[in-house]
Amino acid sequence: MKEAAHYLKTPGLISLGGGLPSPEYFPFHEIDVKVPRPGYLGQEQNGHEEGEIISMGMHDMREGKSAFDLATALNYGQGHGAPQLLRWLVEHTEIVHNPPYKDWSCTMTVGSTAAWDMTLRMFCRPGDFIITEQYSFPAAIETAIPMGVRCAAVSMDAGGMLPSSLDDLLSNWDSVRRGGPKPFLVYTVPTGQNPTGSTQSIERRRQIYAVCQKHDLYIFEDEPYYFLQMQPYTGEDSSPVPPPQSHAEFVESLVPSFLSIDVDGRVMRADSFSKVISPGSRVGWITASEQICDRFRTHADVCTQGPSGFSQLILFKLLDETWGHPGYLDWLMHIRLEYTKRRNVMMAACAKYLPKDIVSWTPPSAGMFHWLQVDYTKHPAYLNGTKTLHKIEEDIFLACVRHGTLLMKGSWFCADKIEKRHTLFFRATYAAAQFDQIDEAIKRFGNAVRDEFGRLPYINGVNGHAINGHSMNGHATNGYVTKGHDTNGHLHGHSNGELNGHVNGMTNGDSNGTNDYANGRH
Ligand SMILES: Cc1ncc(COP(=O)(O)O)c(C=O)c1O
């Protein structure tokens, strides 16, 4: 039936075919949106003060005003999305990734989460295993579980998935012991990985790709953080690296994607506007070989039916008719510098407040997450055998809340829930809190860790020397120094009143954070 739509182009044809409602009955006559003007950088603060109003009318196409309008966008369309926006996405993909084979193609999605869900339905059967990083995006894992699909986890280091571990896993796969066939699908987040913040270098990507060729694996690269690649971290004492001066330099500075090195057509790349335009737009796209895209499109026709017409139209007007490719690249360069500032604030706070003999980290080069490793083996209760790694994680998490900050437990991101853990991590994001809040939250995290480890808190610039009468937020320090004081009323009073205020304060205006807590899956 969808194919019958092609005949609508026949001159003089009166259609009594498709069940499309008449735009006469759409109660939206015009939509106006205010957006940052192209070339706004340096002229407007974040593009909010002054902007350009773009209007979308009901019959702009018929009236020769635009290539897309409300009458078309708000009606039924094809599962791959409106051709107007799709063309722009294909051009963008060519500019940035230029896949090295001819028959690649793009199809719109309602974001990467849905793209992954659809991919699992297309590729897997109950009982299959997929390969993921050892710590991974919880929604990706939990999408698989109800389908009866299990995760086989590959070890990571600060540079992401380890090719040798991937090779070992597959070379030594024992279907009987594992209770399932050798996996053929890899889910990876190569850039600014969630939760570890790690980014695979081009050498690492090439090695992983070679292992995938050896074992004939298909790669799903989930890349919502690709354009959150930041300026190199140089530390506080060295001068910053100058940002890219041109679009070409910017594109050149990005780590090449798996898609861009995919000579076999074994990669499906998922892009998303969620982290660079807005998560609520619910628009993304996949790029893969035509063979795969065709299946995906057919699937979308009976599943999502493509993203919302409102979103597609607004994005088309912004990206194609207002900014164009150069304007979008300007925007991405702007976002890069904004995240660089945020990341640097968090790194400075970590250096200032965290006990370095207990907490260690690698500065992220992309994404919105900072992954902090806690050396639980130094915990007095671990040394005397009274607390497990799991209990220490739980207690640090609760201590963080008492001290007025919220970080995510590393265990929430474990792909393989059965395998025994030997590392303890917390995930912090610098994406949304104000700079001074990032600083304060890390200070509180440092104090929570010290509290848990029975150390003195960090107070007023003196690391580990809390002295009589000095306090964090005006409370006596005693409560923080020895475990026996945890319940003496100071902390309870503190957490029930003031700290709740802080926690709320930190989550209000932090929409990503609020979603985090509400959905528990980002
Ligand atoms: C790795 C990863 N993939 C996908 C998503 C969600 O992307 P989308 O909003 O496009 O579904 C997230 C966001 O939290 C993520 O961390």
Q: Which atom of ligand 1 is nearest to the CA of 275?
A: 9
Are the CB atoms for 112 and 119 separated by under 8 Å?
A: no
Site to substitute for ligand 1 among 89, 132, 143, 272, most atoms within 8 A of C-beta: 272
Mean pLDDT by 10 residues, the chain (522 residues): 84 90 95 87 55 95 97 93 97 98 97 97 97 97 95 96 98 96 98 98 98 98 98 89 95 98 98 97 98 95 94 98 95 96 97 97 98 97 95 97 97 85 94 96 97 84 46 33 32 32 34 38 49
Q: If you measure from the C-alpha of residue 368 to the centroid of ligand 1, how many angstroms do you get, rounded to a whole number?
A: 12
Contacts of 252 (CB under 8 A, 6+ apart): 244
Q: If you measure from the C-alpha of residue 334 to the centroid of ligand 1, how many angstroms do you get, rounded to a whole number?
A: 21
Pick the residue whose CA is nearest to atom 7 on ligand 1. 112
pLDDT of residue 469: 32
Amino acid at 328: Y
pLDDT of residue 475: 35
* pTM for the structure as a whole: 0.87
Of 90, 41, 56, whose CA–CA distance to 327 is shortest? 41
d(CA 19, CA 85): 23
d(CA 504, CA 507): 5
CB within 6 Å of ligand 1 — which residues?
111-113, 137, 189, 194, 222, 224, 272, 274, 279, 284, 522
Q: If you measure from the C-alpha of residue 79 to the centroid of ligand 1, how many angstroms do you get, rounded to a whole number?
A: 21
Question: How many C-beta neighbours within 10 Å does residue 263 have?
Answer: 11
pLDDT of residue 478: 30
The helix (run of H) or strand (run of E) holding residue 359 is strand 359-360
d(CA 80, CA 295): 11
d(CA 145, CA 171): 24
520 token code pair: 């528990």
d(CA 50, CA 35): 8
Q: If you measure from the C-alpha of residue 106 to the centroid of ligand 1, how many angstroms do you get, rounded to a whole number?
A: 18
DSSP string, 471-510: EETTEESHHHHSGGGTTSSHHHHHIIIIIHHHHHHHHTT-
Q: If you measure from the C-alpha of residue 451 to the centroid of ligand 1, how many angstroms do you get, rounded to a whole number?
A: 34
Contacts of 241 (CB under 8 A, 6+ apart): 231, 232, 234
How far is the CA of 67 from the CAs of 56, 63, 321, 355, 511, in angstroms?
11, 10, 9, 58, 34
